[in-house]
A = this chain, B = another copy of it.
Amino acid sequence: MRNGFPPTTAPAGRRTAGTTLLVLDADPPPRLGRLTGRARIVHTDEEGLPRLLPTADVLLVWDFTSHAVRRAWPGEGPRPRWVHTASAGVDHVLCPELAASDTVVTNARGVFDRPVAEYVAALVLAMAKDLPRTWDLQRERRWRHRETQRVAGTRAVVVGSGPIGRAVVATLKALGITTALVGRVPKTGIHGPADLDRLMARADWVVSAAPLTESTRGMFDARRFGTMQPSARFVNVGRGALVDEDALAEALAKRWIAGAALDVFRDEPLGPESPLWGLPGLIVSPHMSGDVVGWRDELGAQFVELYERWAAGRQLRNVVDKKRGYVPGH
């Protein structure tokens, strides 16, 4: 054990072609061809997972929409030594048994940072420039001049001080927006949770880019939306369950806030019956903020690189602190 973490290298004798790499996927990941002859690669769907999980040395959770690992994780007996999820969030794999085990969990830290930051900038600018209304008016063939908002000089608070939150801050700053970053623990340049209410009350933009943990679940609730300015807007690119969706709907309906954009939801995919689709002032997008052209390829290449480190007996990167529920530190 190092720094309180379980060993993050392959155990001796497992770094060979005899290693079983189990891949939970719907479509096969790119780039795994590079591991030909260096691992026995077995693909499975959710149904086959419980049976195959005890046979695997390594589990690649490629289908990051699946919660099957939580359900299938073996409490006792053989289990993978390493689980990698091709996502920034790890809440969909981190069941208590996995968290308590000495299995290493890694994530796709780094792949999504800049794309998500650009997506947040796109949403902020779209709302400031009233683009959704522009689309409605174009559809109705109506010429209606409106005044828009200048984003330079406005204030944003970004919740979540990981690489994504920091990239969001950098991009909003580049647009002249004054930013504050909030993390779990205050440190230089990062506010602690105690400052959040005060910062939200002054913000024009509140951006959620936090991991989903027991302390962040439902953190954006009626009380917090109530602290926001009526002119302010809320953006969630973190995890759906960070937000009390009913409270957000009420905050929009009652004009506590001026608008919101959600890219993530408590239940995904959002069904056609969800009232969120039709909520005035809400922009709904289907969990795609970080998914730029080439993202699957990057995720595949990232896993292959991690696998090669692991097989070579070197320290893994992107190792999740399973108690906190994310990759700590800078």
B-binding residues in A (CB < 8 A) = 114-115, 118-119, 121-122, 125-126, 128-129, 131-132, 134-135, 137-138, 141-152, 171, 174-176, 268-270, 272, 274, 277-278, 283-288, 291-295
B118 near A125: Cβ-Cβ < 8 Å:
yes
**B residues less than 8 Å from A272 (CB atoms):** 141-142
A132 near B129: Cβ-Cβ < 8 Å:
no
B291 near A147: Cβ-Cβ < 8 Å:
yes
B118 near A129: Cβ-Cβ < 8 Å:
yes
**B residues less than 8 Å from A114 (CB atoms):** 150, 152, 176
Compute how far the CA of A173 lies from the CA of B255 in the bound complex, rounded to whole angstroms: 36
Number of copies of this protein chain within its complex: 2
Q: Which of B138, B149, B175, B294 contacts A292 (CB 8 A)?
A: B149
Compute how far the CA of A125 lies from the CA of B123 in the bound complex, rounded to whole angstroms: 8
Compute how far the CA of A164 lies from the CA of B295 in the bound complex, rounded to whole angstroms: 34
User: Given A115-B150, A291-B147, are A125 and B135 neighbors across the interface (CB < 8 Å)?
Assistant: no
B270 near A115: Cβ-Cβ < 8 Å:
no
A275 to chain B, nearest CB (A): 10
- Pairs A–B under 8 Å by Cβ, sample size 22: A114-B152, A118-B128, A118-B129, A119-B148, A125-B125, A126-B126, A134-B284, A135-B135, A137-B286, A138-B277, A138-B283, A141-B272, A143-B269, A143-B270, A143-B286, A145-B287, A145-B291, A149-B292, A149-B293, A150-B292, A150-B293, A175-B175
User: Given A270-B143, A272-B141, are A291 and B122 neighbors across the interface (CB < 8 Å)?
Assistant: no
Write the chain B residue with the least CB distance to A270: B143
B292 near A145: Cβ-Cβ < 8 Å:
no
A292 near B147: Cβ-Cβ < 8 Å:
yes
**B residues less than 8 Å from A148 (CB atoms):** 115, 119, 288, 291-293
Compute how far the CA of A125 lies from the CA of B175 in the bound complex, rounded to whole angstroms: 13
**B residues less than 8 Å from A284 (CB atoms):** 134, 138
For the A-B complex with A121-B125, A125-B126, A141-B278 known, give 19 more contacts whose Cβ atoms are closer than 8 Å: A115-B150, A118-B151, A121-B121, A122-B131, A126-B126, A126-B131, A132-B135, A135-B135, A137-B286, A138-B277, A138-B284, A143-B269, A145-B288, A146-B291, A147-B295, A148-B288, A148-B292, A174-B174, A175-B175
